[in-house]
Structure 1
Amino acid sequence: MNIKSLIMTSVIALASASAVQAADVVIPHEVAPVIAAPTFSWTGFYLGAQIGGRSMKSDKNSGPFSKNNLKLSGMLGGLYTGYNVDLGSGVIFGLDTDVTFVGKKDTIDGDTKLIGITPNAKTVADINKILTEAKIKKNDNLDVQARDAYTESITMKEKWSGATRVRIGFATDRVMPYIAGGVAYTQMQGISAIEVKKSGEAAAGADANKVIASGTVHDETKTLVGYTLGAGVDFAMTDNVLLRAEYRYSDYGKKKYFKDTAELQYRINDFRVGVAYKF
C-alpha cells in the first residue's frame, strides 16, 4: 500500500507541476504590419477640359476707326493636355498646351460721311472702285453721286486661340501652385463692310435715303502669335483626378487688316478652371 500511495502521490505532483508551468508560458501575438500610404506623384500625362471668362480689349492704332476699341469679352471653353516631371524637393517641371473657343465678335460703325463733302471723305470714283472690286451690286440702277452718304464698318471675330507653355510648380503633397509662360496664338476674322445711300442733299422725293449698295468689302482671317504669362494652382483630388484654377495674360501683338488700312492689337486677361484625368 505504501508503494502504491507513493506512486500516486508522485503522479499527482508531476501533473500539478506541468499545469503550473503551462500557466506561466506567454503566447506571443502577431502584430499587423503598418502599411504607409503611397506618396502621390505628379509625374505623368494628363488631359482635361476647361471653362472660364475673358476680358479682351483691342486697340486699333491706325485706320479710320482709331478712336474706337473692339470689345471681345465673353465666356470661353476648351481642352488642355500636358506632361509633368517631378524634379525632386517638391519642384515640378511641365509642358502644357491648350485650345479654347470663344466665338465672340464685335462690330464698330464708322461715322456717316457725305461723298466729296465731309472732310477726308471718299470721292465718287473711290466709292465706285470699292463697289467694283468687292463685286457689290447697285440697287435699282442707282448711281453714286456727290453728296450721297456712306458708312463703313468693321467686324472682328475670334475663331479660336491656344498656347504652348512651360510650367514650374512647387508641390506640397497634393497641392501644386505654379507659374507658367510661353507662346500664345489666335485666329481672328476681320470683315469690313460699306453701305452707300442717297442723302437728302443729293436726292429728293422717292429716291431720298434709298440704299444704293451695301455689302462686304474685305473678309480676312489671320493668325496672330504672341506670348502669355500666368499663375495658378493644381489640386490632386485623387491619384487620377486633377483640378485647376488659373489666371492668364496674353498679348498677341499687332496685325494689319483690310489691305493694311487698319492695324489691330489684341491683349487678353482671363480666368479659367479645369478638371483633368492623370494617366
Structure 2
Amino acid sequence: MIAGAAGDVALAADMPSYEPAPAVSVPSFSWSGPYVGLQAGYDWFDAKNRANGFSPATKPDGFTVGAYLGYNHQLDNSPLVIGIEADANYSDADAHRGTAAFGGGRISNSFDFTGAVRGRVGYAFNRFLVYGAGGVAFADPQIKAGGSSDDTIAVGWTIGGGVEAALSDNVTARVEYRYSDFGTDSFSVAGSRVKSDVNDNRVLLGLGYKFSTGW
C-alpha cells in the first residue's frame, strides 16, 4: 500500500498543472481625443440701449445653428476631463421682439453670427460627461434706426455647462446652456450716438464625432 501511495504521488507530480486564464480587463470609455460637431438651439438676447435720454431696450430672440470643434484629455485613471473648444453660429434673432420706440420712430437690434473659444472641465461617469465651460465670446450686433444702421464686432465673456453622452465609441450627443455677456458698444444711427449693452442666454443641442486618440 505504501508503494501504491508513493506511485500515486509520483504520477500526480508528473501531471501538468493548469492555472486559470487571467481575467481580461475591458477598458472603459475614454473621452480623450479631438472632435467635431453640429449644434442647434435657441437664443434669448437682451439689449439695453441708451441715447438722448431714451432707454429703448429690446429682447430679440430666435433660432441658432452652428458647428464646433475641440479636444478633450481625460487624465490617466481619473474621471477628470479637461479640454478646449471653439464654435461659430448663425442666429436669426432680430424679428418681432427686436424693436422698441426711439424718439418718433423705432430702433432695432439684430444678431447674425456668434462664436466663442472656451476651456472645458468635466467629470466622466464612463460614457456620460458632466461639464462646465467658459471663455471669450464674439458677436456681430447691428442697430437700425431712422433709416440708418451701424454694426460692430463685440467681444465679451461666456460661461455655461452641459451633459454629454457617448452613443458609440465615436458618436456623442449633448445638451448645453450658455450665458454670454458681450459688454457695451457704441453705434451711430439716426444722427445719435447709441450705447448698447448686450447679453445672451441660449440652449443648444449638439451631435458630435470623436476621433480616436491616435488620430
Please classify the TM superposition score into its range, dividing by the shorter chain length.
Answer: 0.7 to 0.9
List per-residue Cα deviations over 1:169-221 (Å, max 9, x = no partner).
1112111111111001101122222xxxxxxxxxxxxxxxxxxxxxx2x3222
Q: Name the CA distance, whole Å, in 1 between partners of 2:186 and 2:26.
A: 58
- 2:72 maps to what in 1? 84
Q: In angstroms, what is the RMSD of aligned CA positions?
A: 2.3
Contact 2:120 2:133 in 1 (8 A): yes
Contact 1:249 1:270 in 2 (8 A): yes
Question: For the structure 1 residues 236 and 63, does the alpha-carbon distance in structure 2 shift closer, same or farther, using more than 3 Å as the test?
Answer: farther
Contact 2:43 2:93 in 1 (8 A): no
- 1:97 maps to what in 2? 86
User: Which structure 2 segments of 5+ residues have no match?
Assistant: 1-14
User: Which structure 1 segments of 5+ residues have no match?
Assistant: 1-25, 112-150, 194-215
Q: Name the CA distance, whole Å, in 2 between partners of 1:33 and 1:52.
A: 49
- 1:70 maps to what in 2? 58
Contact 2:40 2:205 in 1 (8 A): yes
Tell me which of 42, 53, 66 is aligned to 2:31. 42
List per-residue Cα deviations over 1:207-257 (Å, max 9, x = no partner).
xxxxxxxxx2x3222000000011111111111011111111100000011
**Post-superposition shift, 1:109?**
3.5
If each structure's strand is expressed as a fraction of its own residues, which one has the higher value? 2
Alignment of 1:107-256 (within 5 A): 107-111=99-103, 151-193=104-146, 216=147, 218-256=148-186
Q: How many residues align structurally?
A: 191
**Post-superposition shift, 1:43?**
0.8
Tell me which of 177, 187, 199 is aligned to 1:257. 187
Q: Name the CA distance, whole Å, in 2 between partners of 1:60 and 1:50.
A: 30
**Amino acid aligned to 1:158:** F
Q: Provide the TM-score with structure 2 as the length reference.
A: 0.80
If each structure's helix is expressed as a fraction of its own residues, which one has the higher value? 1
Which of the two has higher C-alpha Rg? 1
Q: Name the CA distance, whole Å, in 2 between partners of 1:160 and 1:49.
A: 15
Q: Name the CA distance, whole Å, in 1 between partners of 2:142 and 2:154.
A: 11
**Post-superposition shift, 1:110?**
2.8
Contact 1:64 1:262 in 2 (8 A): no
